[in-house]
Chains A and B, each alone.
Chain A
Amino acid sequence: MRMSIGVIFVVIIAAAFVTMMHVKNGVQDLKAEKHAGLLKRESFQETIRVLYAEKAYLARPEQLQAFASALRLQPIQPQQVVLLPHGVQASFGQAN
């Protein structure tokens, strides 16, 4: 009887330790995964920043104007802007 109680206790304690270790390892893995994810996010954010800056540099008005000139495109003239009748404007507004 004493023997079996002792064995049960030892087994329970061992099981608890194993479970605790397992949980702890799991938590550590998840933390490492999260940290890697955060670093990856940082890296992506940096890439986005670079691409955003590159886009701004390439699409700056001066550059676009140079491309337009090369393609013989002319800037919009005021006479090309027309006022639509009120009803048409309203329907555009609704469509949008």
Chain B
Amino acid sequence: MLPRQRRKDNRSRQQSERSNGFRFRAQLLCGFMVLGFAVIGLRLISVGLIPTGEPDISLDIVAALPAERGNIVDANGELMATTLTVNSLFADPKMVLDIEDVARRLPTVLHDVSAREIRGKLAKKNRFVWLKRGLTPHQVYAVNSLGIPGLGFREEKRRLYPQGSLATHIVGRVDYQVRGMAGVEDAFDETLAAGNEVKLTVDLRLQRALHETLATTMQSTGAKGVWGVTLDAETADILAMVSLPDFDANNYGNASPDKWLNKPTGGVYEMGSVFKLFTMAMALEEKNIPLSEQFDCTKPLSVGKYKIHDSHAKNSWLTMREVFAYSSNIGSAQIGDMLGAKLQQQYFASLGLLDRLPVGLSNAAMPIVPSYVRWKRIQTMSMSYGHGIAVTPAQMVAAARATMVDGVWKQPYLVKNAARMPSHQVFNAKTVASVRELLADVVDYGTASKARVAGYKVGGKTGTSEKSTKGGYLKDKHMASFVGMIPLNNPKLVTLIMVDEGLDGKGGGGVVAAPAFAEFSKKAMALLAIAPTEKTFEMLSDYEQTSVKHAQYSNLEKANYEAITAYFTARR
């Protein structure tokens, strides 16, 4: 082979090898690029089309914010407590040019901040002082209009109670860090703090009716305090609960601490004769005593060193229904004695009178009852007419509801759809029917004539107890009460009203508490649109009423009273 030819071949081979090398590298590069684009393409598809489930940053920010404290609303959704953002006014004293100018001008728009207070705060060496917290939008505008340098606003969360003092003891209050301190705010703090709404069983219309009635009673009787609870007769839901004196929930700091206590759940009281209701029901249930059974009430009953008297002494033998209607302690004590301590304990326990009863508020007082060891004969007799045992009004009204309405004890509660203690049967239907007869007697011709409501049959029981101190009972300081239901034949409401030292301490249940019950019930029946079904005493003419009253004054008993009332109502 010629050398030229050989060189040419060598060159050609080298070119071919170089070409092969280049192709290989190009293919490699292509491969990488295809792979790269494939990755990018796949990523685009995954980002654009396939939901990744990765958390959204902006949503994270929103979720990270603390939840707004939930509202408290009544049974009809009316607002009782809410949280709003408010502006609070602060000052940087070093930036304030003229303290006197601020002290002079600021009180003209913030009337509850004094010039002296402002001077004091601005004289401090701090760089930050609060001048007033929780301003209204109008006040913010007014302060801005002053154009004072060195003042500023900071947004804060504030709990507001639009109903003011109407349900102050129910909603309760929060502290400066918006944590529950009392009432539903405290009992349902976790639920509210998580942003959930709490719906109450309370009906603000009935709450207002009860509040207004009790305020009038307190004013007219000069009582130290008046309180009441109304239950739905069927469910035991608390529809209204008022404790007077009260205070504006938005301004609890200015209220004296003695007003903070919600007496219906936080106070324990000797209920007096309203307890006879349970004694009668127990006797009817356990001993099947006929209502015509007679008891010797001719003279005070002596038990050891104690003597039991009657406040409305008849000094005669009384039937069981008369014992109840005339509220005879002597007769009740005999019935209690007949039942015995063990039975009484069992029934009181079954009626929820011996243990703390929570109703959805943070304060549920413990009842004061004698220990089982000290529950002797005299205690049994005195407790049969409501002395020697102190329970909360909420316990009392729950036990009364069971005895008067359906014989089933149900836990009264303030919050809808909350878990409650299990209900249980205490009295049978026959006992309940007999109890209702007794309750009607009390209103028709017994101690509670002032509890009558025109157009409705009412049943109830009065109670008057002497207040106790460390040294014993105060003869001239009475706690008056009335527990009743309306309408008697188809109960809708069960209400307990208590009056503390009404009429200079002399007011009894029939005089001060029963009229309040009647007044409230009248309003409630109209609000709940429950039509009157009875031709009652109040619907008779003046002449007819006088005749009926004459029959009562003539000491004619129930049969005569009923006959005369029936005569007049039939004539109409």
For the complex, what is the distance from the CA of A44 to the CA of B523, rounded to whole Å? 39
Pick from A38, A46, A65, A76: contact of B58, CB below 8 A: A38
Closest residue on chain A to residue B533 by CB atoms: A83
Given contacts A31-B57, A53-B162, A60-B164, A81 and B84 within 8 Å (CB-CB):
no
Q: Smallest Cβ distance from A80 to chain B, in angstroms?
A: 7
For the complex, what is the distance from the CA of A53 to the CA of B80, rounded to whole Å? 9
Within 8 A of B (CB), among A55-75: 55-57, 59-62, 65, 75
Complex contacts, A79 vs chain B, CB 8 Å: 454-455, 532
Question: What is the 8 Å Cβ interface bit string for chain B, positions 166-186, against chain A (1 contact, 0 not)?
Answer: 100000000000000000000
Q: Smallest Cβ distance from B521 to chain A, in angstroms?
A: 9
Chain A count of residues within 8 A CB distance of the other chain? 36
Question: What is the 8 Å Cβ interface bit string for chain B, positions 519-541, against chain A (1 contact, 0 not)?
Answer: 00011011101111100000000
Closest residue on chain B to residue A61 by CB atoms: B208
Contact of A81 with B205 in the complex, beta carbons under 8 Å: no
Q: Smallest Cβ distance from A10 to chain B, in angstroms?
A: 11
For the complex, what is the distance from the CA of A65 to the CA of B207, rounded to whole Å? 14
Complex contacts, A54 vs chain B, CB 8 Å: 162
Pick from A5, A53, A76: contact of B79, CB below 8 A: A53
Cβ-based interface call for B288 (8 A): no
For the complex, what is the distance from the CA of A88 to the CA of B175, rounded to whole Å? 53
Contact of A56 with B78 in the complex, beta carbons under 8 Å: yes
Complex contacts, A62 vs chain B, CB 8 Å: 164, 166, 208
For the complex, what is the distance from the CA of A52 to the CA of B82, rounded to whole Å? 9
Question: What is the 8 Å Cβ interface bit string for chain B, positions 121-139, against chain A (1 contact, 0 not)?
Answer: 0000000000000000000
Given contacts A49-B82, A53-B84, A78-B522, A60 and B162 within 8 Å (CB-CB):
yes
Complex contacts, A57 vs chain B, CB 8 Å: 162
Contact of B48 with A23 in the complex, beta carbons under 8 Å: yes
Question: What is the 8 Å Cβ interface bit string for chain B, positions 230-249, against chain A (1 contact, 0 not)?
Answer: 00000000000000000000
Complex contacts, B163 vs chain A, CB 8 Å: 56, 60
Complex contacts, A65 vs chain B, CB 8 Å: 208, 212
Q: Smallest Cβ distance from A41 to chain B, in angstroms?
A: 9
Closest residue on chain B to residue A83 by CB atoms: B531
For the complex, what is the distance from the CA of A87 to the CA of B366, rounded to whole Å? 51
Q: Smallest Cβ distance from A27 to chain B, in angstroms?
A: 8
Given contacts A46-B85, A79-B455, A35 and B58 within 8 Å (CB-CB):
yes
Complex contacts, B79 vs chain A, CB 8 Å: 52-53, 55-56
Within 8 A of B (CB), among A1-37: 2, 5, 9, 12, 16, 19-20, 23, 31, 34-35
For the complex, what is the distance from the CA of A55 to the CA of B71, rounded to whole Å? 14
Contact of A61 with B82 in the complex, beta carbons under 8 Å: no
Complex contacts, A46 vs chain B, CB 8 Å: 84-85
Within 8 A of A (CB), among B1-60: 26, 30, 33, 37, 40, 44, 47-48, 56-59
Q: Smallest Cβ distance from A5 to chain B, in angstroms?
A: 7
Cβ-based interface call for B204 (8 A): yes
Contact of A80 with B526 in the complex, beta carbons under 8 Å: yes
Contact of B205 with A53 in the complex, beta carbons under 8 Å: no
Q: Smallest Cβ distance from A33 to chain B, in angstroms?
A: 10
For the complex, what is the distance from the CA of A81 to the CA of B164, rounded to whole Å? 31
Cβ-based interface call for B64 (8 A): no
Q: Smallest Cβ distance from B31 to chain A, in angstroms?
A: 13
For the complex, what is the distance from the CA of A82 to the CA of B533, rounded to whole Å? 9
Question: Please, could you name 25 A-B residue pairs with CB atoms under 8 Å apart, sorted by A?
Answer: A9-B33, A12-B37, A20-B44, A23-B47, A23-B48, A31-B58, A34-B56, A35-B61, A46-B85, A49-B82, A50-B84, A52-B79, A53-B79, A59-B78, A60-B164, A61-B166, A75-B523, A76-B526, A78-B525, A78-B526, A78-B530, A78-B531, A80-B526, A81-B526, A81-B532
In the A-B complex, list the 6 residue pairs whose CB atoms are closest, starting with the nearest.
A61-B208, A56-B79, A56-B162, A57-B162, A35-B58, A76-B526
A residues bordering B, Cβ < 8 Å? 2, 5, 9, 12, 16, 19-20, 23, 31, 34-35, 38, 42, 46, 49-50, 52-57, 59-62, 65, 75-83
**11 further interface pairs, Cβ-Cβ under 8 Å (given A16-B40, A38-B59):** A5-B30, A23-B47, A34-B56, A42-B62, A49-B68, A53-B160, A56-B162, A57-B162, A61-B208, A75-B523, A79-B532
